[in-house]
Structure 1
Amino acid sequence: MITFWMQMRRTIRLLWSLFKDAETRGIAGVTTVLLLSGTLFYAHVEHFTYLDALYFSFTTLTTIGYGDIYPVTAVGKIFTMAYSVIGLGVMGSFLAVVVKKISQFDRRR
């Protein structure tokens, strides 16, 4: 049980250091804008509910892609292709920043 609490403390410290870093906040902001724009697009063009649109945007950006909902209009399919490519770049950048921060955090300890 002590190990669990020590790991939780370490995780909270890491998350706090990520939050304080301007680079991480910037990438997180871009990711939020990307999710919001995808949500609004799919809600209005594909007529998804806002929850379904957010869910589809998230699964597309993270490359999970369950396939339970999908765009049916030509505009929606074209947007999804561009959205996926842009999302891969942004999510890759976010992951790179987080991994870099974790390695810096481990070196300090």
Structure 2
Amino acid sequence: MLFFNTITSFLKNREYRDLLYTTTIILIVGTISYHFIEGWSLVNSLYFSVITLTTIGYGDFAPQTDLGKMFTIVYILMGLGIILQFINTVKNHYSETRNKHHHKKDR
């Protein structure tokens, strides 16, 4: 229940929604670009975009073309900050919601 309350309150906040939209657009741009540049499936392209921008980098996929490598450099520089901000914002929002929930229970 707390998880759904957190998501609902997150989506009601305009700044959070804008960050979610920006993150979604960055992932879509990466997914479509890798799909056409590297010839990967959409699922593999999305997977690589998420893995790359979260800095996990399993190494199971890597761009093979020069264009793909150049795009990856630009993609990381542009997208990394936004993705990390999104992850941090979700974590902070969840923590705030959890703390409010615990304070209500204590009263």
Pair 1:91 & 2:83 matched:
yes
Give me the whole-angstrom Cα distance separating, in 2, the residues matched to 1:104 and 1:37: 31
Counterpart selection for 1:48 from 20, 40, 45 = 40
Structure 1: 4+ residue segments shifted above 3 A: none
After TM superposition, the structure 1 = structure 2 runs for residues 27-106 of structure 1, keeping only pairs within 5 Å, are 27-105=19-97, 106=99
User: Structure 1 residue 98: deviation in Å?
Assistant: 2.3
- Contact 1:40-1:50 at 8 Å conserved across structures: yes
User: Structure 1 residue 80: deviation in Å?
Assistant: 0.5
Bigger relative contact order, structure 1 or 2 (CA pairs below 8 A, ≥6 apart)? 2
Q: If the length of structure 2 is used for normalisation, what is the TM-score?
A: 0.83
User: Structure 1 residue 107: deviation in Å?
Assistant: 4.5
Structure 2: gaps spanning 5 or more residues: none
- Contact 1:39-1:53 at 8 Å conserved across structures: yes
